[in-house]
Structure 1
C-alpha cells in the first residue's frame, strides 16, 4: 500500500506545462479561397529543456452568437520555426457535421505529438487552417489548441526529423500516377542512430465513379530499403464514433477518417545502422479509373532516434474506463471491469508487470500481468476484479510497477487517476422495450455480466420488421452490460436511409416508466453498463425521449415523445438559415407521451429545424430537409 501511494505521489510531482496557441478562437471558412488561416506565435521550451511527452488537446465548441458549422472539412495544425520557411503538419482534424448540435455542445480530442518535440521549441508560429466553402456569417467553430508538455528524460534520444512527402496527390489518374510523386527517398542515417520511425498523416478524399478516394478501401505499403515492412488498409469504420449522432452521413465508413475525428497518425518503426544510407518508399494499391477525381492528402516524416534510455520502462498511457472523457464513452463492454492502455518504453520486450488499482477510500487491488509487448508498442489491459462505489463520483487510481520484475527505468509516468461515475441502479425486474425498423436482420441485443457471461439474448433471427418486443429481465445483485448491435452500422434510424424506417429501444420498469432512453441514431452499437442492487431506490431517466423521423421528407414529419413526468412542451419549427423565422409552433400542456405528425409540404423547399423546448430550455434539435 505504501509503495502504491508513493507512486501516486510521484504522479503529482511530474512537471507539466500547457501552452495554448488558440484559446476559444472562432474560426470560419473563406469561401473565396477554400481555406482560412489562423496564425499565432507561441513560446515553447528551449532546446536545453528535456521533454518526456507532448499531447495536443483540441477542443471544439459552438461559437458565441453563431451555430456550429455543417460540413466535414479537413483542418490542419501546422508549425513553423522563426526564420524558417518549412512548415510541419503536426495534427489533422476532420470536422464533424454540426448542424444538430445545441448551443452548449463541446467535444475534446487528443493526439500524442511527442515525435515533433525537436521542432516544438522556442518561438513558433502555430497555424490553424480551416478549409471549406460553407457560409461564414452564421456558422463556424470555437477552437482551443492546447499543447500539454510533460518535462523529463525522453524515451530515446531524438536525432533528426525529415519531411519526406507532403501533397494532395491524384489517385487513379493513369496520366499522372501517384507513384510519380511517391518516389523512394534516400537518407544518410545519423552517426548515433539506432532506430527510425515512419510517421504518416493520410486521408482519402474526392469522389470518382468507384467512390474513391473518400469511400473506397485501398491499401498502402511502407518499404524500407525496398522491402515491405508494413501494409495498411486505409479504411475506418465510423458507426462507433464517440461523437454521435451528427447531422450528416457520419456513419459512412471512409478512407482512414471519420467526421468529427482528430487523426491518429500511422507509425512504423525500423532498425537503423549508424551512418549508413537507407531508403523509405510509400506505395499505394495500384488503381486506375477513366474519370479520376480521387485525392490522397498525405504528409510523411522519417524520424531518427539514438539510444533508448531505459532497459525496462512501462508507461500508463490512458485509463479508458472508468473515465468521464467523451472520447472513451462508447468503449467499455466489460462493465465494472477497468480498462487501461499501457506502452513499453523500455529496450527489452515487456513480458510482465504489476498493476495496482483502487477507488478512493477502498483497499488496493493487485494484478500480475504477463504478455509480450515490443518497444514502442501499446496494449489494452482489462483488469480482472470488478470495481464499485456507493459514491456518485469517485477518483480511480492506477499504478504500474516492476516491469519484467525490475525497477522501472522511469517511474514518473506509471500512475494516473480518472473519474469514476457510479452506474445506474436498476430494479431486479426490468423490461427491454425494442421496436424494430424495416431491417431487423441487422440487429441483436443482449445482457451479460462483467465477465461476458450471457444472461439474455435476442438474435436477429428472432426479430420481425416493425414489431415491438417486450422482454422482462429478472436479475440478481451484480453488475451487467446491455448491448445492442447493428451489423449495418446505421442504428435503428438514420436520415439518409428513410426507407429502412425507424425503431427505438429503452429500458422500462414494470410500471412502464423509463429507466433509460437510447438514441435510435446510434450507428453500430449501444453499450450500457448498470448495476442491480435489491432494496435500493433505482434510477429513472426523467429526461424525455424525443425522436423525429424522417429528417428528409416531402412533407410529413413524425415526432415521438416519451417521458416519465408531465411537462408543458413546446414544439417549434424554424428556418435553418434564420432561426428567428418561426413557421410553426405547437404547445402541449401537461404532456407525457404521444406521437404527432406535422405536414410541412406547403412550405418552401429548404432546410428547417424542429426544436423541442421544456421549461424554457431547448432539449432537442434536429434538421429537416424538405425535398421536392
Structure 2
C-alpha cells in the first residue's frame, strides 16, 4: 500500500496568520484518482490530518468519469466507457482489529461512509459530454465521521463501473457542534441473501433489526440517528424491495416518532438520459445517485442517560433491504445566531442542478440555520461579479439545522454580461440582526452559462405527442410567472404533430414540458411510442425555419428551456411578502417533515389549506388559524412538488408552491 501526502490549499483568509488555524482555510486530501483505472475493490492507506486542528465541516468530493479505454464493441473484454448496469457500490473506512483470519489475513471493522448506485451507462458518455472531461462531482457531508478521519486511514472503494476520484475537504473553523462519538447500530454488510445478494430479507427484517439501547453520558448535548436503507431484489409479489411502496417506522423509547414511505421518485434525476430503466421510482435510491440517508434528531428523547431506538418496516415475502446506521453524539450547539449559505440552485453550471439551468429567471438559493436560536431574519446580498450587488431581506422561522429555499426577487441583469459565462455569488449575513460568528460559510460562488437569445419576435413550437398524450403537457411562462402559451394534456391526441405560432414581446421566457408518468415523450420500456418537441424561427435570409432548440424526448418528469427574445428582462423586482396579490411563501422549502405558512396578516373565519400534487390531485386538507403562523405536517407525502391553496370558505386567499425532499 502506498502512503499519499495531503496538501494544503488556502482558499479564504479572513484573519492575520497566527500559529492557530485560520477559520475557512481548507485542507484537501487526495485519495483514489482517475489514473488508478477501474476496479471494484480499490484499497489503499492515506495520510489524513492528525486531529490537532478544529474543523467546521468535512466534505467528500466523489467524482466519476467515463473511461476513454471503454468501447461499445462486444468483440473484446472491455466494458462500456461508463459501466452498463446500476450497481450498488460503496466507500468504506477499514479499521484493523488486530486479529488475523485462518489464512493469516488481517481482519477489519468496516465503517461505510456512503453507498452509491451507478448510472445505466449505455450512451451516457454521448449524452452527457462532461462525463468525458472533468467528470460528475458529488459533494457528500462526512463531518459525522471526523473521529475516524485522522492520521493514517485505510479506505476501500467498490465502484468498478466508472473511473473514480475521491477527495476529502477539511474546512477549518468552529463546528456547528463538535462530534463526540459515532457508533454503528444495524448493518447488513456481509450478510448474504440467496448466496449472492447482500442484505436483510424483508420477511425477517424486524427480527434482525431490533430495539437497541444506548447509554448517553452527561457530556453529550446532542444525539442524532442516521440511516441509509435501500431496497433491492424483485420479480415476485409486489416487486419488493426495489420497486414497491413500503412504510418505514422509527421508534424511540418504544413509541413511533416518524413514519414514511421509502419509495423515491427518479424521473427528475439530474443525470439523464440513462441507458436503462432509470425513470422508475425505487426504494431509497436512484441510478446515478447516493443511497438515501435519513437523519433524525433524538436529543429530546434521552431519558435518565438512556435512549432506545428501533427501525421497523412492513414485511414482504420477497425482496432485500441493505441498511447502514449510526448513532452520532455531539457537544452543545456552538452559536446562538449562525446562518450558512448552503446551496445555489440557479444560476449555476453545477451538473447536479442541470435540470434547473441555465436559467435567467430569479436566482434560487438555500440558506441554513446553524444557531440554537430560531432564525427569523437575515440579509442576503447577491448578483453577478462586476455589477452592483442586490439585496434581499429574508424573514422566516427556521429551527436549528432547518433550511429554506429562497427565491431572490430582484433579478440580475444578464444584458450586461459579456460573453457566454457569468460569475454569480450570494452572501447571507446578519442572522436575527446580529454579527455572524462564522463568516467563512456565509458566501457561495458559481459559474453560470448565459441562456439563449433569439432576435426574433415570433417563434414556432412543434410538439409531437406519443401514444399516451394525456400524460404530457407544456407551457411557456414569462419572467413574472405568467403563462403566455400552453397546451393541457386533455386537449392533445395520440401520435399527432401540433404547431404553435408564438408572438412574443422582448424579454425572458421559459418553455417547460411535463410528464405525469415520469417517462417523458420517449422511453424504451413503456410501449408508448416516441414523441418530440422543438422550438424554431423563420430565417428571412434562408427562407426557411431554423431549429433553435431540440428537447431531448427522454426527459423523465420535466424539462425546461430558458431563453430571451431580443433582450433579457431587466429591472424586474418580484413580490417579496409572504402573502401578497394571491402569492404565498412556504418555508422551510424544501421540507422533510413540516411546512409553515405565515398568515399573521390574514383574517378569516374558515381558513383551510388544500395541498395538491403536480397533477392537481388533492393529497391533504388542513384547517388553519388566522392571524398566526401555521405548521402543517407533510411527512406522509412522497418526494415531489406540491401546490398549497389557502381559502377562506369558498374564497381563494393565496397559493404557494413547495417541495417535499426527504433524504
With over 3 angstroms needed to count, the CA separation of the structure-2 counterparts of 1:288 and 1:65, relative to structure 1, is: closer
Instruction: Using the TM superposition, give the Cα deviation of residue 162 of structure 1 relative to its aligned residue in structure 2, in angstroms.
Output: 0.9
Distance in 2 (CA, whole Å) between partners of 1:451 and 1:225 is 50
Cross-structure match for 1:53: 57
Q: Deviations over 1:128-148 (max 9, x none)?
A: 0248xxxxxxxx411111112
**1:36-435 equivalent positions in 2, closer than 5 A:** 36-66=40-70, 67-81=81-95, 85-102=108-125, 105=131, 106-130=135-159, 140-167=161-188, 168-173=198-203, 177-207=204-234, 208-271=236-299, 273=302, 276-285=305-314, 287-289=315-317, 292=318, 294-331=319-356, 335-389=360-414, 390-391=417-418, 392-426=420-454, 427-435=456-464
Q: Is this contact kept in 2: 1:193–1:274, CA < 8 A?
A: no
More deviation, 469-478/397-406: 469-478
Give the whole-Å Cα distance in 2 for the aligned partners of 1:264 and 1:146: 21
Aligned residue in 1 for 2:505 = 476
> How far did residue 60 of structure 1 move?
1.3
Q: Which of the numbers 8, 16, 22 marks the counterpart of 2:26?
A: 16
Q: 1:287-311: per-residue Cα shift (whole Å, max 9, x none)?
A: 233xx3x111000101111111100
Does the aligned pair in 2 maintain the 1:196–1:305 contact within 8 Å? Answer: yes
Q: Structure 1's 82 and 21: CA in aligned 2 closer, same or farther, altered over 3 A?
A: farther
| 1:613 corresponding residue in structure 2 | none
Report SS of the residue matched to 1:220. strand
Deviations 1:338-395 (A, max 9, x none): 1111111101111111100011121111111111111112221111111232322121
Q: Name the counterpart of 1:458.
A: 487
Cα displacement (A) at 1:274: 8.8
1:456-485 deviation digits (Å, cap 9, x = unpaired): 111111111111111111122222111100
Give how far 1:68 is off. 1.8
User: Secondary structure of the equivalent of 1:496?
Assistant: coil
Q: CA deviation at 1:486?
A: 0.7
Q: 3-state SS of the aligned residue for 2:148?
A: coil
Residue 525 of structure 2 aligns to a residue whose secondary structure is helix
Measured in 1, the distance between the counterparts of 2:441 and 2:448 equals 21
Name the SS for the 2:480 alignment partner.
Answer: coil
C-alpha distance after superposition, 1:422-443 (max 9, x if no partner)? 1111222111111111111101
- Superposition deviation, residue 218 in structure 1: 0.9
Please state whether the residue corresponding to 2:122 is helix, strand or coil.
coil
Q: 1:526 to 1:213 in 2, by over 3 A?
A: same
Find the counterpart in structure 1 of residue 75 from structure 2.
none
Deviates more, 1:105-114 or 1:273-282: 273-282
The RMSD of aligned alpha carbons is 2.3
Partner of 1:316, secondary structure, is strand
Of Structure 1 and Structure 2, the greater strand share is in: 1
Residue pair 1:193, 1:304 contacting (<8 A) in 2 also: yes
Partner of 2:564: 531
Q: CA deviation at 1:262?
A: 2.1
TM-score (ref. length: structure 2)? 0.73
CA contact under 8 A between 1:437 and 1:493: conserved in structure 2?
yes
The CA distance in 1 between the partners of 2:359 and 2:548, in whole Å, is 21
Aligned equivalents of 2:223, 2:229: Cα separation in 1: 19
Summarize the Cα distance change of 1:333–1:28 in structure 2 as closer, same or farther, 3 Å threshold.
Answer: closer
TM-score (norm 1): 0.77
Q: CA deviation at 1:9?
A: 7.4
Higher mean C-alpha displacement, 407-416 vs 220-229:
220-229
Q: Cα gap change, 1:13/1:115 in structure 2, threshold over 3 Å: closer, same or farther?
A: closer
The answer on whether the counterparts of 2:358 and 2:448 sit within 8 Å (CA) in structure 1 is no
Query: Is the CA contact 2:246–2:313 (under 8 Å) kept in the aligned structure 1?
Result: yes
Number of equivalent positions: 508
3-state SS in 2 of match to 1:282: strand
- Contact map agreement 2:23 2:174 (CA 8 A) in 1: no
Secondary structure of 2:231's match?
strand
Alpha-carbon distance, 1:534 to partner: 5.6
Shift of 1:248: 0.6
After superposition, the C-alpha distances for 1:23-55 in whole angstroms (9 at most, x for unaligned) are: 0155657xxxxxx42111111112221111112
